[in-house]
Structure 1
Amino acid sequence: MRPSKARTYYLGLCLTYHDPALAIVGPDGCVLFAEAAERRLQSKRALNTPPDDPFHLPLLLQEHCADAREFVVACNWQATRPLHEHFARWLGWLSPRGILTNAGRRVHTWLEPYQIYHMQAAQHHVLESRLLNLARTLRRDFPDIPVRIRGYDHHLCHAALACYASPFDTAACAVIDSYGETGSMAFFDYRDGRLRPIARQRGPQSLGFYYMKLTELCGFDWLGGDEWKVMGLASYGRDDPEILTCLRDMMTVEGLELRTRYPVFFDRLRQLESRRRRPGQTAESVADLAHSGQHFFSDTVHCLLSHLHDRQGSPNLALAGGCALNSVCNGRILESTPFRTLYVPPAPADDGTALGAAWLAYREDHQGQVFEASHLSPYLGSAIPAKDIERFARYAGVPVRRLPGEGLIGAAAELLVKGKILGWMQGRAEFGPRALGNRSILADPRRADTGDRINREVKFREPFRPYAPAILGEHGPDWFLAYQESPYMERTLRFRPEARERVPAVVHVDGTGRPQTVNPEWNPRFHDLLARFHCQSGVPVLLNTSFNVMGKPIVHCMEDAFGVFLGSGMDALAVGDYLFTKPETMP
């Protein structure tokens, strides 16, 4: 007899070679856990790492699935790989020797053969070893319990997260990233709880690859996730007509497809290479390249989305894939396309496909169930155990106070009003790349030098990188032009001119900011802190940035948090009900 679905748990795994992640969906379809592996490992993007860690996974399953009578394991890739990848492997292009010699066929795409074939080889390796750790854990801890394994199309997993997590009953869905099983883009119609494919890009043409190349030309490392730096740098530059002409000659939009202009592609690529940032040059020297490249990217995405609207017709857009992390592009979608509303999930890149796969499996088994649209909480990751906080309170050797309830809120707000930089670690970690008030560094945005100080003394990052404003939701229209609710800090908007001088630390050089909408339903504790700061300062905005230093993931445990706290110019750290300060912080 088949086990009751009432005790079936759905494990979603992102098996991409970068940004692996694990999600757990319960018997009722609710998300019990979702987190990228990089957080626990404290290794940026956790390259070539399986998501089913043999030491951490058993603890999660005991915590969330102890009463399981069946498991469904859902993967974010189909088991079979495209024929051309098998051909490349047979010829030795995916081997270390092939990568060292840059062997292989040069295709009309933005990256070198060794970069393309390294990605393919790494992906093959991950898929070949998939679920080994999970199989061992389930055999030991859940013997004789049935396990069903499913693999889903990669872009379908992206689309599932974007649509199932959205507030929409019907929507057009666009998935734009570097590559999937057969190409870089897929488009869907979402209605009645179902996803129907509309169109799919096939071949090597890719906006994800394009932005990776742009990141490389600007002197940054796309493998380490430095695309953020290009977006920040772009605001310091201006359009360069020669660069834009080069780009438009290389790739165009036809309907819902990207087309490469083969006769001129490599000639124009060489022209772009001549603009590359050289050793010894500052990042600002290529600001025009970043600006022009971002301009071309946004225009291309908006053109594709306009064609999607013409094809599908819904006013609602759900957007996913790695390119959906481009907040500058996202902020202009509603003014540059016919869409009227936009939803981007908190984890639109590959880590989010772990949850998308788990939800696909759940809905496959519950096809008669009616699913209501709702707001997806991003706070799905690990929490800090109380015993760990208490241990640091006892042994850390710095001043510490236990301030239950409102006591901590009041003390933290007072420090912020005085210009102190505060680490804020509360509740469960955010799922996705952005700190949304649970793993954040916070500061007063009214002080013009605050951002420079955090860049210099806390984050140790480039001075052109901007900081985000967290804003009380009801005040958003008073501070931003054409305000759009932004719960996951997923779009860049333009400040009202009269507001900019009030919060200079979170206004970028071009007058924009990437806001996080904060309301009491989504994050009551962070909302209370922001509301208290508003009462004391008259400003409903806090500077909010991720709790990490440059090149490292957001902190995961107390040891990580104290490493940043003690090893930087941060003034105080609030974890749970405890407030840690440095001796010089308090009078």
Structure 2
Amino acid sequence: MRICGIKLTHDAAIAVVEDGRLVFCVEQEKRSNNPRYQTIGNLDAIVATLAEHGLHPKDVDQFVIDGWVGEVESRLQLLSGVKPLTLKGAPYLEIHADRLLTSFDHVGLMLDGRVFPYSSYAHVTGHVMSAYCTSPFAIAGEPAFCLLWDGATFPRLYYVERHGARFLECLFPMIGHAYASAGEHFGPYKTADRKSWNLGIAGKLMAYIALGTHEEGIIAVFQRLYDEHFAAHTEFLAPRYPARTLYGALHDFFDAAEVRLKGKRPEDVLASFHYFLERLLIRGMAVALQRLGFAGARNLCISGGCGLNIKWNSALRTTGLFDAVWVPPFPNDSGSAIGAACCALTTQNGVVPLKWSVYSGPALLRSDMPSEWKARSCNMHELATILASDRPVVFLAGRAELGPRALGGRSILAAATSAAMKDHLNDIKLREHFRPVAPICLEDRAPEIFSPGTPDPYMLFDHQTRAEWRDRIPAIVHLDGSARLQTISRASQHKVAELLVEYERLTGIPLLCNTSANHHGRGFFPDAATACQWGRVEHIWCDGLLWTKSVRTQPTSSG
């Protein structure tokens, strides 16, 4: 059985699952240097993606489209070739709390001149199923709670077991976009133009708050305003209360906060708001679990855009409320195509695990290299020697990683032994000085260097750098002493693991700086030629070849 899951709206992607195994997932931002949050406006993109993997639309047994905005159904206007059409889909939220896997079945998906039937599931259902089906709980056949907190939703709690999934309750009435909205009112991203949802602010704020200190007095102000603007309004908890109205209520909330917090440092205000939301989340979860009274193992999956907040993930994990916590590498909408396919898989077979690898993105393209760049063979020992001399390397290996974070397949790697390296990497990436550079570390040595240093293959939890290591690897230590750690087993077959082992033999240090290889505001480099044309790093390693400039040229102006 071959299923094609499709996400048409922002963070668009196409995924194919065959006999319970993820064959590929191509996020559109990772094609042709596309901008982040790319959509699919023409169904020809689906035909092209299938063709790149040796498939025709007629080779697919079932097409599934992720649901989107709408109370009863969603309507998506797009093209198939030059022909305009409207596709009907499931809504954003489930219609019935105990029938999460209800499909909306239609005909009208026009691909390569032929019309195909398709199914659609609620957007939230895709989030829940992508998180659970990729989890260790699914493999063990254990049930799990699923926390879904997306930009346009309140934090929603679900329960998934072998026979299905159901919605339990909302934890509190504040949409996930509150975090980014705070940045539109305070700090370096403050703006008077609040008509659109800025999807790029939240991750930057998570770094920026390290400049500040949370203050109980500021948190108390937010609590009073929350009680006044949100908690007192029970109508907000209506299942389909308009998200745009809630967005307006957020700005009223922050307008009032600006008045009451006048004179406070914005970094302290934002740090305090972060901790206010964290406490609200933990308190809401604790109250819900006590009220629901579920017996047995307490497992938690986290999904939705807020699942990228490593500090909240860690806070939930350390509460003791759960036996184990799982976050997939694509908790945001980049995992929605996989989620749509998992919905169909579950409908047919019950809730079963998906066989998958994080390195299931697009393969590297073959393209003409700029004439001023020359290639030679380069093994991992030679590459480790280059890195040990404080020279960064663009590292492109195999298929791209899924989700928004570079995990060694499309990375810029560098030695972490110089504090200046963090500034250098932020400069070439055109990033703010306070942005962290992540470490990629051999898993067995991570506890020696970080606390807790537990396995974190997808960079989704918070770790503190141990004091005795901070002076040895200053480039990856954030302003608050934390690190956005990625771990990888030294037994991994991925080339980045082999490189780390060689670098460790050479230097005694089992980690490197790791940041994404991309133009500013765009997806990962699709090929070595793009990295060469970018020209901000002088060494490009791509599947065994090291490319270097034979003539010094000026880098392009884009980051």
Q: Aligning the two structures, in what range does the TM-score lie when normalised by the shorter sequence?
A: 0.7 to 0.9
Deviation at 1:268, TM superposition (A): 4.8
* 1:427 partnered with 2:398: yes
Which stretch of structure 1 is more off in the superposition, 193-202 or 315-324? 193-202
Q: Percent identity?
A: 26
What does residue 357 of structure 1 align with? 340
SS at 1:478 equivalent: helix
Structure 1 residue 269, shift from structure 2 partner: 2.9
Matched, 1:225 2:200: yes
Amino acid in structure 2 at the alignment position of 1:13: I
The equivalent of 2:2 in structure 1 is 9
> Who is 1:154 aligned against?
123
Per-residue deviation, 1:380: 1.3
Query: In 2, Cα distance between the equivalents of 1:42 and 1:67?
Result: 25
Q: Is the alpha carbon distance of 1:10 and 1:521 closer, same or farther for their aligned partners in structure 2, counting shifts above 3 Å? A: farther
CA drift of 1:199 comes to 2.3
**2:28 is the counterpart of 1:54:** no
How far apart, in 1, do the equivalents of 2:58 and 2:251 lie? 55
Aligned to 1:291: 271
The verdict on how the C-alpha distance between 1:277 and 1:542 changes in structure 2, with shifts beyond 3 A counting, is: farther
Alignment counterpart, residue 174 of structure 1, candidates 137, 147, 155 = 147
Q: Would you say the 8 A contact 2:154–2:171 is kept in 1?
A: yes
Counterpart among 178, 189, 194 of residue 210 in structure 1: 178
Matched, 1:343 2:343: no
User: CA shift at 1:439, angstroms?
Assistant: 0.3
Rate the CA distance shift 1:134–1:235 in 2: closer, same or farther, 3 A.
farther
The 1:378/1:262 distance shift into structure 2, 3 A limit, reads same
What displacement does 1:419 show? 0.5
Please state whether the residue corresponding to 2:515 is helix, strand or coil.
strand
TM-superposition CA deviations, 1:240-276 (whole Å, max 9, x none): 44432232123369xxxx9533599887532323589
Q: Corresponding residue for 1:198? A: 168
Give 1:24 shift: 1.1
Separation of aligned partners in 2, 1:510 and 1:134: 53
- Find the counterpart in structure 2 of residue 74 from structure 1: 64
Aligned partner of 2:17 in structure 1 is 25
Deviation at 1:185, TM superposition (A): 3.4
2: CA distance between counterparts of 1:124 and 1:63? Answer: 26
* Cα contact 1:15–1:50 (8 A) shared by 2: yes
Give the gaps of 5 or more residues in structure 1: 1-7, 87-119, 279-283
Q: Is the 8 A contact 2:212 2:267 kept in 1?
A: yes
Quote the residue 1:306 is aligned against. 286
String of CA shifts for 1:71-92, please: whole Å, max 9, x gaps. Answer: 31112216x8227xx9xxxxxx
Distance change in 2, residues 1:138/1:302 (3 Å): farther
Q: Is the 8 A contact 1:178 1:206 kept in 2?
A: no
Query: Aligned residue for 2:53?
Result: 63
Matching residue's letter, 1:44: P
Measured after TM superposition, the shift of residue 328 of structure 1 is 1.8
Partner Cα distance (1:373, 1:316) in 2: 18
Distance 2:57 2:65 in 1: 22
The amino acid that maps onto 2:179 is: Y
The 3 A distance-change label for structure 1 pair 292 and 63 is same
Distance of aligned partners of 1:236 and 1:196 in 2 relative to their CA distance in 1, 3 Å threshold: same
Q: Which amino acid aligns with 1:447?
A: S
Kept in 2: contact 1:275–1:289 (CA 8 A): no
Distance 1:453 1:265, change over 3 A: closer
TM-score normalised according to structure 1 size: 0.78
1:498 deviates by 1.4
Specify the SS of the correspondent of 1:361: helix
- Counterpart contact for 1:231–1:290, Cα < 8 Å: no
Relative to structure 1, is the Cα distance of residues 365 and 262 closer, same or farther in structure 2, using a 3 angstrom cutoff?
closer
Residue 360 of structure 2 aligns with which residue? 380
Larger proportion of helix:
1
Q: Distance in 2 between matches of 1:484 and 1:233?
A: 25
Task: Name the CA distance, whole Å, in 2 between partners of 1:52 and 1:488.
Answer: 31
Q: TM-score, normalised by structure 2?
A: 0.81
Structure 1 residues 43 and 220, CA gap change in structure 2 (3 angstroms)? farther
* CA–CA separation in structure 2 for the residues paired with 1:434 and 1:349: 11
User: What per-residue deviation string (whole Å, max 9, x for no partner) do you get for residues 84-118 of structure 1?
Assistant: xx9xxxxxxxxxxxxxxxxxxxxxxxxxxxxxxxx
Q: Alignment RMSD, CA only?
A: 3.3
* CA distance, structure 2, for counterparts of residue 503 and residue 42 of structure 1: 32
Pairing of 1:73-472 with structure 2 (within 5 A): 73-77=63-67, 81-82=70-71, 125=77, 129-130=86-87, 135-139=109-113, 147-168=116-137, 169-179=142-152, 183-192=153-162, 194-200=164-170, 205-217=173-185, 218-220=187-189, 223-251=198-226, 259-262=230-233, 268-274=253-259, 286-310=266-290, 311=292, 312-313=294-295, 314-367=297-350, 371-372=352-353, 376-385=356-365, 387-388=366-367, 391-392=368-369, 395-403=370-378, 407=379, 409-456=380-427, 458-472=428-442
How far, CA to CA, are the matches of 1:383 and 1:559 in structure 2? 14
> Residue type matched to 2:182 in 1?
L
Counterparts of residues 459-498 of structure 1 (less than 5 Å): 459-498=429-468
Q: Secondary structure at the match of 2:505?
A: helix
**Counterpart residue identity of residue 541, structure 2:** A
